[in-house]
């Protein structure tokens, strides 16, 4: 890939002869091995496990073979068609890496940040950064890394936007920490997705998102029904800004030095110092972000959105949606304090649940966690039992409670009055039970914290 791009630079600068005589032989030599051995056993990106079917490697093969084919055509070589044929063979088998929920790296290490790197770096027309598979993979992995690293939970509780990601869950190398180079590639994936979204708008206009075709992106970035491509592009840019901002907060004290990892407990840089790969990925992410300036148009909806941890305003235009006269203020939701009320079965059986709850942080889904005395009000997403609900319990880690509301709204104070209590092994509805705002408003949370008013924090 690098040699083909360098050859193109030589041609563009008037050195076509050098491209043919110096660069082409190197490309041809390398691809002789790839075309014959692409399906053989080799190492993963981290040089730790072996397989004949790594997603990262195969995405790289497809990209490089096509890049070399284009270069061969340009300089009059005849191998372009052969390279494209092998790329098609690789493409035919890589689709099995989509398991219906996310793109996995390999059977012996399915959950790996290398997949996000591959999507961002090597996608052509397969698993592009704006694809539903990309959004689903990001959504799956950021939840895992949010739970994996205490520093993410600490930042969430402090209301700091973004997420730090690493190589894979349960990584033990050098402490198993977030990696700067992967966090940067996640930000770039959002920026690349926004670039594609904006490109689509040039021909399709500000089209409305589909609840089926764009379901994963809408879920990842908390976009409501009726959201448009403009909303999506703005949220993608803001998500990328949030990711880089969180990383910057942990490396800014080191005077521009960027190392390999960020300690998952202290938030300080760790492991290999001045890692070239870290610098390269950060600079490339910033280069991609620069191409999105000025910021995309502001959302057409009036509700500000966040995700995993803090308030955000309209990412690009705080004056959008002006009115010509006074209007009634909308109900406040996603507040920092909420009030639970019940004069029915719940309040009678569990009077300790009634009262005011204060937001103490966010959970793995990005929704707010509230607490009153020893009682937690939080959201449960139990994938194994396909159960999602707001619940009261004695711990924020509980996956069930005796008082629940299966309304999946991202804000508990915007849920429908459909609370139920488990009584004598049966569920009893309490139509008097409700949660309402009882304090200062925060914005809603879900999955990944996004905030941007003018780009990345400096």
198-to-18, 207, 236, 289, 429 alpha-carbon distances in Å = 37, 11, 11, 13, 46
**DSSP codes, 142-181:** HHHHHHH-HHHHHHHHTT--B---BSSTT--GGG--BBHH
pLDDT(260) > 90: yes
d(CA 7, CA 9): 5
Tokens of 45: 């990106």
61-95: per-residue pLDDT in tens? 999 999 999 999 999 999 999 999 999 999 999 99
**DSSP codes, 364-390:** TTS-EEEEETTEEEEEEEETTTTEEEE
Percent of the chain at pLDDT > 90 equals 72
Given pLDDT bands bounded at 50, 70 and 90, which one contains residue 318?
very low
d(CA 318, CA 296): 13
424-437: per-residue pLDDT in tens? 889 999 999 999 98
**Contact between residue 450 and residue 306 where contact means Cβ atoms under 8 Å apart:** yes
Tokens of 11: 């041609």
Q: 345 Cβ partners below 8 Å, 6+ apart? A: 421, 423, 428, 430
Task: Calculate Rg over the CA atoms of the chain.
Answer: 25
C-alpha dihedral, 106 to 133 to 448 to 312, nearest 10°? 160
pLDDT(364) > 80: no
DSSP state of 29: H
What pLDDT shows up at residue 309? 36
108-to-105, 182, 357, 406 alpha-carbon distances in Å = 8, 20, 44, 36
Question: Quick check: helix, strand or coil at residue 350?
Answer: coil
Given pLDDT bands bounded at 50, 70 and 90, which one contains residue 304?
very low
What pLDDT shows up at residue 327? 38
Q: 76 Cβ partners below 8 Å, 6+ apart? A: none
Residue 404 bridge partners (DSSP):
391, 420
Residue holding tokens 């008097």?
A: 432
**Terminal-residue alpha carbon distance, the chain:** 33
pLDDT(11) > 60: yes
The DSSP H or E segment spanning 280 is helix 276-290
Instruction: Give the chain's mean pLDDT.
Output: 86
**DSSP codes, 139-152:** HHHHHHHHHH-HHH
Pairing state of beta strands 434-437 and 426-430? unpaired
pLDDT(285) > 90: yes
Question: Nearest CA to 355 among 387, 390, 392?
Answer: 392
Given pLDDT bands bounded at 50, 70 and 90, which one contains residue 102?
very high
Per-residue pLDDT averaged across 109-130, rounded? 95
Neighbours of 384 (CB within 10 A): 6
pLDDT(171) > 70: yes
What pLDDT shows up at residue 456? 47
Tokens of 362: 């966010």
Percent of the chain at pLDDT > 70 equals 85
Per-residue pLDDT averaged across 214-227, rounded? 94
Per-residue pLDDT averaged across 259-269, rounded? 96
pLDDT(457) > 50: no
Q: How far is CA 128 from the centre of its chain?
A: 14
Residue holding tokens 């300690």?
A: 263
Per-residue pLDDT averaged across 384-392, rounded? 85
Pairing state of beta strands 269-270 and 375-382? unpaired
Per-residue pLDDT averaged across 55-64, rounded? 96
Given pLDDT bands bounded at 50, 70 and 90, which one contains residue 410?
confident
The DSSP H or E segment spanning 261 is strand 261-262
Residue holding tokens 């190398």?
A: 173
């Amino acid at each position: 890939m690098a040699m083909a791009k360098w050859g193109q630079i030589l041609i563009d600068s008037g050195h076509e002869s050098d491209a043919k005589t110096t660069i082409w032989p190197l490309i041809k030599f390398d691809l002789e091995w790839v075309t014959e051995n692409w399906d053989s056993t080799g190492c993963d990106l981290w040089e730790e496990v072996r397989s004949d079917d790594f997603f990262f490697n195969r995405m790289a093969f497809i990209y490089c073979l096509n890049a070399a084919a284009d270069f061969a055509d340009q300089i009059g070589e005849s191998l372009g068609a052969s390279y494209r044929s092998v790329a098609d063979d690789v493409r035919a088998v890589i689709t099995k890496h989509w398991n219906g929920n996310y793109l996995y790296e390999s059977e012996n290490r399915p959950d790996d940040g290398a997949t996000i790197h591959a999507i961002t770096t090597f996608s052509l027309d397969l698993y592009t950064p704006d694809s539903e598979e990309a959004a689903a993979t990001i959504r799956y992995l950021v939840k895992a890394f949010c739970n994996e690293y205490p520093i993410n939970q600490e930042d969430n509780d402090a209301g700091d936007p973004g997420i730090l990601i690493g190589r894979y869950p349960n990584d033990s190398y050098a402490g198993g920490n977030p990696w700067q180079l992967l966090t940067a590639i996640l930000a770039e994936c959002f920026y690349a997705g926004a670039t594609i979204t904006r490109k689509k708008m040039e021909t399709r206009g500000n089209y409305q998102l589909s609840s089926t075709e764009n379901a994963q992106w809408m879920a990842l970035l908390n976009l409501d029904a009726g959201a448009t491509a403009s909303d999506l592009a703005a949220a993608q840019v803001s998500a990328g800004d949030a990711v880089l901002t969180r990383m910057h907060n942990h490396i800014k004290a080191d005077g521009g030095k960027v190392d390999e990892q960020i300690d998952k407990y202290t938030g300080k840089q760790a492991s290999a110092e001045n890692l070239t790969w870290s610098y390269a990925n950060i600079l490339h992410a910033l280069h991609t972000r620069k191409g999105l300036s000025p910021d995309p148009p502001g959302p057409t909806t009036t509700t500000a959105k966040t995700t995993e941890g803090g308030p955000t305003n309209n990412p690009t235009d705080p004056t959008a949606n002006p009115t010509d006269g006074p209007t009634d203020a909308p109900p406040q939701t996603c507040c920092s304090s909420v009030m639970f009320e019940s004069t029915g079965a719940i309040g009678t059986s569990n009077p300790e649940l009634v009262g005011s709850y204060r937001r103490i942080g966010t959970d793995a889904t990005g929704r707010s966690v509230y607490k009153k005395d020893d009682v937690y009000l939080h959201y449960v997403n139990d994938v194994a039992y396909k159960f999602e609900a707001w619940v009261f319990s004695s711990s924020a880690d509980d996956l069930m409670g005796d008082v629940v509301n299966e309304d999946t709204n991202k804000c508990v104070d915007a849920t429908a009055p459909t609370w139920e209590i488990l009584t004598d092994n049966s569920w009893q509805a309490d139509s008097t039970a409700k949660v309402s705002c009882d304090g200062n408003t925060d914005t809603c949370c879900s999955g990944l914290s996004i905030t941007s008013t003018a780009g990345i924090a400096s």
